[in-house]
Amino acid sequence: AQSVTQLDSHVSVSEGTPVLLRCNYSSSYSPSLFWYVQHPNKGLQLLLKYTSAATLVKGINGFEAEFKKSETSFHLTKPSAHMSDAAEYFCVVSDSGSARQLTFGSGTQLTVLP
Amino acid sequence: EAGVAQSPRYKIIEKRQSVAFWCNPISGHATLYWYQQILGQGPKLLIQFQNNGVVDDSQLPKDRFSAERLKGVDSTLKIQPAKLEDSAVYLCASSLGLAEYNEQFFGPGTRLTVL
């Protein structure tokens, strides 16, 4: 069985300050991990993915995430927030034991203050 | 490249009525998914197709939900009869295939309100 816990339902940061969105996962098999972003009235968009290659993964728009197996974590970071980063972010796990289906976390709403 | 298309974008119905949603995946994508996203939650997989065959429908409430992908391209999801708790956004996604490195591309969703 696989599951994802996003530790914060809401995060607020000021523009230009760092962003940290936290995610812990549980998986019975070697997992693939993803971060998706959802802007209002738009489809989910893939930010980045980890598939057992480098543990530090770089994505679009300056986001990156680090896979830490010992901590079962996959936190999303960005050095400097931009107003356009305001959106809902989902941490997602997929493992080979589940026909590679995606299991989504409950989401973190990111607010960026001017 | 055109993305995943869904229609309608919004639908309001009364409980016990029926409703259908349509999805056109990205051309050439063999795998198609339907998700249900209830307000404040992450999307939950309802059904997964590979071409015109069902891979997994274990989380589909089959007493009221049905889905088909007859020609392995477009798909429809139907609810009959609808309940209040079916109010949600229904997302369609597609990918090239089942391999884990195949990214899923999502459509904009259909927002269903059941009164």
For A60-88, the pLDDT digits (tens) are 999 999 999 999 999 999 999 999 999 99
Q: Please state, as a whole number, how many other Cβ atoms lie within 10 Å of the Cβ of residue A23.
A: 24
Q: Which residue of A has its CA nearest to B38?
A: A106
d(CA A107, CA A98): 21
In this prediction, residue B16 carries a pLDDT of: 96
The mean pLDDT value for B85-113 works out to: 89
Q: Which of B45, B100, B101 to mutate: most A Cβ within 10 Å?
A: B100
Residue A84 neighbours by CB under 8 Å, 6+ apart: none
Report pLDDT for B72. 85
Q: How many CB contacts within 8 angstroms connect chain A with chain B? A: 54
Strands A103-104 and A108-113 come out as: unpaired
Stretch 52-111 of chain B: residues touching chain A, C-beta under 8 Å: 55-56, 91, 93, 98-101, 103-109
Instruction: Tell me the per-residue pLDDT of B11-33, one tens digit each, with 9 for 90 and over.
Output: 999 999 999 999 999 999 999 99
Identify from A100, A103, A104, A109 which residue to disrupt to test chain B contact, counting B C-beta atoms within 10 A and taking the largest count.
A100
User: How far is Cα B84 from Cα B90, in angstroms, rounded to an integer?
Assistant: 15
**How many percent of chain A have pLDDT more than 90?**
72
Q: Are B33 and B76 in contact (CB under 8 A)?
A: no
Instruction: Output the six-digit token pair for A104.
Output: 């989504």
- Of the pLDDT bands very low, low, confident and very high (cuts 50, 70, 90), residue B1 is low
Please say if the pLDDT value at position A98 is more than 60.
no
Backbone angles phi, psi at A69, to 5 degrees: -65, -40
Structure-token match 């990156």, residue found: A64
Confidence of residue A100 (pLDDT cuts 50, 70, 90): low
Nearest partner of B82 among B5, B18, B9, B27, judged by Cα = B18
**Chain A interface includes B41 (CB < 8 A):** yes
Do the chains contact at B108 and A41, CB–CB below 8 Å?
yes
pLDDT digits (tens, 9 = 90+) for A22-63: 999 998 777 889 999 999 878 899 999 998 778 899 999 999
Of A43, A105, A107, the CB nearest to B106: A43
Nearest CA in chain A to B111: A41
The count of other CB atoms within 10 Å of the CB of residue A47 is: 21
Chain A interface residues (partner B, CB cutoff 8 A):
4, 32, 36, 41-46, 49, 51, 90, 92, 94, 96, 99-107
Residue A92, pLDDT above cutoff 70: yes
Contact B95, B105 (CB under 8 A): yes
Q: Which residues of B75-89 are buried (b: 16+ CB within 10 A; e: fewer)?
A: bebebeebeeebbbb
Residue with tokens 């050439």: B28
